Structure formats: structure tokens, C-alpha cells
Amino acid sequence: MLRFCAVKQSAETGPNLGASARVSFPLVPTLSNPHTKLRAAILAGVLLLIGVILVHAFHQPWAKSLIWASLGIGLVFGGKPAVDALLSFKFDIDVLMAVGALLAAYIGHPEEGALLLFLFVLSGSLEALAKERTQREVESLHKLLPTDALVLRNGEWVHADAGSLVAGDRIKVRPGERIPADALVASGETSLDQSAITGESMPRKVTVGDDLFAGTINTDDPIEATITRPVKESSLQKILDMVTAAQEKRQPVQRTIDRLSQPYSLSVMGLSIVVMLVWHLVFKVPLLGDENTKGAVYTAITLLIVASPCALIISTPTATLSAIARAARAGVLFKGGDCIERLARTGAVCLDKTGTLTFGRPRVYEIHPVAWSDGAELLAVAAAMEADSTHPIATAIRDAAAQRSIAPAHLESINHTVARGLEAQWNNRRVRVGSYTFVEELVPTCYRSRVREVLEKIQLRGHIAVVIAAEAPPQNEALGQCAVVIMADTVRPGANTLVASLHALNVQPVIMLTGDNHLTAARVAESLGLDAVHADLLPQDKIFRVTELKASLQARPGGNRGVAVVGDGVNDAPALALADVSLAMGTIGTAAAMDSADIVLLSESLATIPWALRLARAAKVTIRNNLIISLSAMTIMAVLTLVGSRIGHHIPLSVGVLAHEGGTVLVVLNSLWLLRFKGQGA
């Protein structure tokens, strides 16, 4: 009954497969369409119900034709997969069900055969609709890519196919429109809605030089941008490719089930034949029997149906696909079902600091005006001096000025001294920004000890500081100006609750592994409540720490717990490779993060990590419950069928059918629950 062989096909050929197939083979897609199958199953069920009532309650012999019509509909829609399997020299569940229904009708029980096929087609259509639902979750990402773009061609703005855009093209994006391809803001500033990709509800502010990612929505003002990558190489396309590949990957338990499904189906058929022969030849049970004495064939058919592993085969893939689709909607990209299983058994987490726990970008959070009372003037001068620098500190100063709507001051000239700072002419006075030793010459003598005192306190806090000073005018040396600009690398959203959330999930310890200095690392670790911090580490040192932690976890009681490493996907590559499961705190467009880790977290919030862990554990529980349901139903019904036939209490074929197909439907519905998993994302 397994239909998940269609996943690979649909992933490769895309959503237009059905349309193209209908042109050449009009009948086949109709029979395979899950909505058509569902309607056919409902019709077959109605005919069967009416027929059974009229025949058995009102003794209307002609109504048997309704039962045979129901059986015929079931054979049309349930028999086609069986024929396809036999033509491919395969013997699978579809063949078992078709054979069981035909044999039931042959021995005079067409209503049981019709019931089997009705429930078989019904559960198959529900299973296909479940797969379609998970596929829709992913295909909704396809719809994020606009087909049209407003592009500058030959000096005029014209509408063009988004697929025709190449690197270097200039585009205009108006409010409410989607970004057609990855680009850089060339003019203007606005806010972007990235919720459909990252699951974050808050818009992201962008200005000149910032990245724009395909599929995000411009929510405020019109902007112009320069394309950096064509649509087929965009970040969103990489996400789509990654999720599609993940859907095709099988978990170890599923690979085992897939490998054994055909031998098992043959074994069920063989066992049913053996039971029929033993019951007839050894126990002298008649082959066909009658209404009161069920024959050996009846027992064999019942056993064939209840022992068929329909529910078992779909137990893992339905849950896995649902979890992958739900995670993708929240900006968590699992690269396969095995990643879900490994994340679920995580017992400890190692996190990098820069770029993972923090953004890796310093932000101005305080200006200490030692001898410069006008903070706006100070920022205007500093921003003008740092206007052309790409250094993170320069970016932080420019951002601080922009956030306060402070325009850069007018400077006569700017000179750069490598590794020390910048000097410029401002109002016929020299002004410097940079390290204290570089700026000291312009700091009034009476303020130098105060500046050094401020810098020492900042260093103890593990923060970053630059000094800015303007020389005094010649007529009054006491009017020299100086100040200290204090910056810090801000932590990501969700960092303050990360440790408590992981501890609540029995994940401990949560430690920091960083190459940064111990003072800065300890400050961040203490503020976030991390269990331990290891600083000043080289890549090989991180490998040693991860290995050490894995060994300690294995030594614990019930030591099948793994170590998750969370990094930025570039400088943490050795530790990520050694981890039991690796997570990259990527952003949309971070190719290295997407390529190196098992799981990519597109959201900027660290709250995504415990949410992903809870989802993985929920998926694992769902798979376990599915396996218990399917194996229990198979085993119990098989035993009851054999024992009951020997003690004269035969399990009715209809009861066997209901137990078998009911278990399948229950497994599908249980897996679909994961699509409604609460928390992160919409």
C-alpha cells in the first residue's frame, strides 16, 4: 500500500508532472490522483453499505449487484498498483491486498473483499493526501519566487521574466513586491518581511549595501538593488533543493523496512499458503467450508490480510516527511530523516560564541563623553571618518549615527594609519579616532588619566572601545575634545533563555567553545548562564573538547546520548564534522553554513534550537508509536486468527480488514499531527 515511491518522482519533476502526464496518458493520472481515489473510495463504501443493508436486512437478492459494483470500483483503483508491481516483477503489499480481495470474492464473500478494497483505497488516498499536504508545505516555498521583475534595461524600467535576471542587473522593488533574486540594496532603505522563510515575525531593516534575499517581501518604501545571483542560484533555491533532498533520504529504520518489505510480502503469501495446506491436510479442515464452518482458505485469506505490513511500512516516512515540512516552514532545514533521529537523542550542546551566540558584529551601546558634550556632533564626525571603511567597528559607528538620524560631518581630508586609526581635518582642526596610543597626542593632558581609567573598566567587562579626540583651537588649548565610544558584540535573540530551555529538555551541559579571549568569553557565558566556557581555542582544541564531552556522555547511565555542535558553518567546520549532529546558525544566503551542517537554522533567534530539538523528539515518539501500533495490530490479529480458527471462534474476515486498514489510517493521522506542532514559526 506504500505510495511514497512517488516522492522522488514529484521532487524531480515538480508540480507540473500531473498536467503533462494527462496529455499523453489521460487514464493513469486520474486513477492515481488522491482526490479521485478518495471520491471513488467513498462511492464504493456507500454502495457496499447500501448493498449489505438491502441484502441482509431486507433480503433483496438484486442488491448483491451493489456489493459487486463496490468490489469492482475497489479493483479498478486498488488493482492498478498491484498490476504495476507485477509488471515490474515485484511482489508487494498492493499485490497482497488485491489477491486477498479476489480470493474472498471467489470463496463467496464478495462483501469482505469489497470492504477490504474500500478501506484499502480509502487509506491509500488518505496517505497520498498526507504526502501531498507535506509536499505543499515545501512547494509553498516555490510560490515565494516571483516570476516578474522591474529591471533597468537600456535606461528604461521594463518588466522582465525573473528567470532572465543576471548578476549586475539593476532592479526596482516597490512596496508589497517580493525580491525576485538575491541582490544588494543600491539605493533607498526599507523593511523586509522574511517570515515565510525564517519563521520570524519581525521585519528586517535594510539600507544601502545590505543583502536582499529572493522571496522576501518589501513592506515599506521602494528601493533599487543590484542582482548578485540569478534565480536558479538564489538562497531560496538552495533551500528548496535541500528540503527536496531531505525528503528523499531515509532513516535507518526505514531503509531496513524498505529492504525487507518485498521478502516479507512473499513470506506472508507463503505462510498463508502453508496455513491453508496444514489446516486442510493435517487438521482436516475443508478448503472452502460454509457459513458455520469456515474453511482453510478463509483462514488463510484472513491471515494474509492481517499480517500485511501496510501500516508498518508507512510508519516512518509519514512522520519524517511531516517533521521535515513543519521544520522548513519555521526556518529549520533538516538534511534528512537521520538528522531528526540524531538530534532527538542530543544530551549536550557545544556553541561557538562569535556568529552563533552573538551576531559577530559590534554595536555601539554607550558613548562616554570625557570632554565632548555634544554626542550628536561626536557621532557625525566619527561616522564621516569611518564612511569608507569596511571594518566592523566602522560599521558599528555608522549604524549608530544612522539610527539617531545623524548626518556625517563635512571633513577636509582623511588619512588611514594601518592597525591604529584614522585622522582627518575638521573645521581646521585635526581629529583622530582609533586606539588610545594613536589618539593620545590630541587628548588634552588633563583628561588622559580619565580616558585610560574608562578604557581599563571597559576592558575588564570584555567590551570594545575606540577613542575619538579633536585638537584644541590654537587660541585656547583647554578646549580640546575627547570621548570614548563603547561597543559590544550583541547576543542573538533567544540567547538569554537558551540554557534554561535546553536544561528543561534534559540537555546538559551547555558549553561555549570559542577562539575569543577568555575575558570576553567569560562575560558572555556568565550573562547567559552557560554551564562551562572554554576560550582561546584553536580548531584542534575544539575537536579535543567535543571528543572529551562525547566520551563523558557515553560513560553516563543509558549512554546513547549525542553531542550537538552549533556553529557558523565556516570556522567551526572540524567540530561540526565531529559532532553527532551539527547545526549551523546560518542566515539566508550563507552558503557555507548550508553546506557544512546537518541542520541549518535560518532564524536569527537561538530559540529555534530547543524548538527544533522538541520537534525532533516529537517525531521520534510519533515514529515509535506508529511502529508499536502497526506491529501490535499485525501480531495480535495474526495470533487471534490462527488460534481462533483452531478453537472454533473464527475471526471474521471483515474484522481482520477493519483492524488492518484501521491501523494504517491511525498511523497516517498520528503522523499528520506533526504538521501542527506548536511553537516557532507561523
Provide mean pLDDT across the span 582-610. 76
Highest mean pLDDT among 130-144, 194-208, 508-522, 612-626: 612-626
Cell 469492482 found at = 72
Residue 69 confidence (pLDDT) above 90: yes
> Which CATH architecture fits 359-490?
3-Layer(aba) Sandwich (3.40)
How many Å is the Cα radius of gyration of the chain?
34
Q: Are strands 481-491 and 358-368 parallel, antiparallel or unpaired?
A: antiparallel
CB atoms within 10 A of CB 673: 13
Check residue 280 and give its pLDDT: 92
pLDDT band at 15 (very low <50, low <70, confident <90, very high): very low
Mean pLDDT in residue range 444-456: 91
pLDDT tens profile 297-323: 999 999 999 998 888 888 888 898 889
Domain ranges for the chain, please list them.
6-140+244-323+620-676, 148-231, 324-358+492-617, 359-490
Considering the segment(s) 148-231 as one domain, its CATH architecture is Distorted Sandwich (2.70)
**Confidence (pLDDT) at 250:** 59
What is the CATH code for 324-358+492-617? 3.40.50.1000
Round to whole Å and give the CA distance between 424 and 429.
Answer: 8
Contact, 335 vs 148, CB < 8 A? Answer: no
Q: Worst-scoring range by mean pLDDT, 20-24, 94-98, 337-341? A: 20-24
pLDDT at 216: 86
Give the pLDDT band of residue 242 (cuts 50, 70, 90).
low
More confident position, 325 or 256: 325
* Separation of alpha carbons 94 and 75, rounded Å: 11
607 and 589 Cβ atoms separated by less than 8 Å? no
**pLDDT category of residue 133 using cuts at 50, 70 and 90:** low
How far is CA 373 from its chain centroid?
Answer: 51
Rounded-to-integer distance, Cα 208 and Cα 467, Å: 27
Three cell numbers written together for 635:
501480531
How far is it, in rounded angstroms, from Cα 168 to Cα 152?
A: 11
Strands, sheet with 217-218, edge to edge from the N-terminal-most edge strand: 204-206, 190-193, 217-218
Q: What is the mean pLDDT of residues 247-260?
A: 64
| Residue 163 predicted with pLDDT over 50 | yes
Which member of 92, 169, 211, 352 is catalytic? 352
Of 136 and 610, the structure prediction assigns the larger pLDDT to 610
Average the pLDDT over each of 145-149, 175-179, 424-428, 429-433 and give the range with the smallest value: 145-149
pLDDT beyond 50 at 12: no
The single-letter code of the amino acid at 482 is C
CA distance 232 to 241: 10
Q: Could you tell me the pTM of the whole model? A: 0.71
Task: Check residue 627 and give its pLDDT.
Answer: 92
What pLDDT, on a 0 to 100 scale, did the predictor assign at position 24? 36
Report residue 418's pLDDT band, with 50, 70 and 90 as the boundaries: low
Residue 26 has pLDDT above 50, yes or no: no
The pLDDT of residue 360 is: 76
Averaged pLDDT of the chain: 83
Q: Is 352 one of the annotated active-site residues of the chain? A: yes
Phi and psi for 234 in degrees, rounded to 5?
-70, 165
- What stretches of 531-619 adopt beta strand conformation (E)? 532-534, 562-567, 581-585, 599-601
